[in-house]
């Protein structure tokens, strides 16, 4: 058995959970297997997280926190154009799923979110990053209700990237990209093309400022 400090053991258990989820999915999860992988006693996970649901909830909460950071970073890299920022978010969403497949699959299990307020807040925070991107693109102030066309754009974009992420993790694109090694290149290239089409079809183009005349006064009118 390994000797861990409190914070190190928590991190080791979460990492072991992440690896187990990526390999076998939530259905095959067990505290005993997590403890074995972390090199600690079977009682250690329960001591830190209470039960299996507590450990899975902690991992899912960290997942949404990480997704929020990824979405914000993705839109920041895209610059100031609202449409480009939405595409940047979408690419970041799928990249996150590819980096953390087990965690990503776990995050959207409703049974966990229904029983934990902190996890629900983390999920809502991630969704608000997507919503704020739509608000910026449509010129809708925070707190104002989203009109139907903005909601449609939001749901379309979320559906595209969420579906793309799950199709990627399931290996459905592998026949199109040769093998798993080419998956990342194929996904990013094709995803950007799809997102561009969806954004152009559902999000208004940024308004261009009219050039101002150098002349002024009555003679310029």
Which domain covers residue 41, as residue numbers? Answer: 1-50
How far apart are alpha carbons 180 and 166 in whole angstroms?
15
**Residue 166 DSSP code:** H
Positions of E strands within 46-108? none
Q: Kindly state whether residues 43 and 62 are assigned to the same domain.
A: no
Residue 50 is given by DSSP the state S
What confidence score (pLDDT) does residue 179 get? 66
Quick one: average pLDDT of 11-27? 88
Angle between helices 52-77 and 117-138 (to 10 degrees): 20
Give the tens place of pLDDT for each residue, 177-192.
876 667 888 888 899 9
Flag whether 22 is in a domain.
Answer: yes
The confidence band for 207, taking pLDDT boundaries of 50, 70 and 90, is low
- pTM of the entire structure? 0.85
CATH of the domain at 155: 1.10.357.10
Q: What is the mean pLDDT of residues 4-22?
A: 80
pLDDT of 101 above 70: yes
Lowest mean pLDDT among 47-51, 110-114, 217-221: 217-221
Structural domain contains residue 215: no
Domains identified in the chain, total number: 2
CA 157, CA 218: separation in Å to the nearest integer? 49
What local confidence, expressed as pLDDT, does residue 118 receive? 92
Q: Are residues 13 and 98 in the same domain?
A: no
Cα–Cα distance measured from residue 160 to residue 80, given in angstroms and rounded to the nearest whole number: 22
């Amino acid at each position: 058995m390994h000797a861990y400090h409190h914070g190190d053991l928590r991190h080791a258990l979460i990492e072991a959970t992440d690896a187990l989820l990526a390999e076998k999915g939530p259905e095959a999860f067990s505290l005993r297997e997590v403890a074995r992988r972390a090199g600690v006693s079977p009682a250690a996970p329960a001591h830190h997280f209470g039960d299996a649901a507590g450990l899975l909830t902690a991992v899912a909460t960290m997942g949404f926190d990480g997704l929020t950071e990824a979405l914000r970073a993705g839109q920041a890299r895209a610059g100031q154009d609202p449409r480009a920022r939405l595409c940047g978010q979408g690419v970041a969403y799928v990249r996150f799923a590819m980096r953390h497949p087990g965690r990503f699959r776990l995050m959207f299990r409703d049974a966990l979110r229904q029983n934990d307020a902190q996890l629900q807040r983390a999920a809502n925070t991630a969704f608000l990053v997507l919503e704020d991107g739509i608000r910026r693109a449509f010129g809708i102030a925070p707190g104002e209700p989203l009109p139907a066309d903005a909601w449609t754009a939001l749901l379309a974009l979320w559906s595209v990237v969420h579906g793309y992420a799950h199709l990627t993790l399931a290996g459905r694109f592998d026949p199109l990209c040769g093998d798993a090694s080419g998956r990342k290149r194929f996904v990013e290239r094709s995803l950007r093309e799809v997102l561009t089409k969806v954004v152009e079809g559902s999000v208004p183009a940024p308004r261009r400022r009219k050039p101002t005349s150098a002349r002024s006064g009555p003679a310029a009118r």
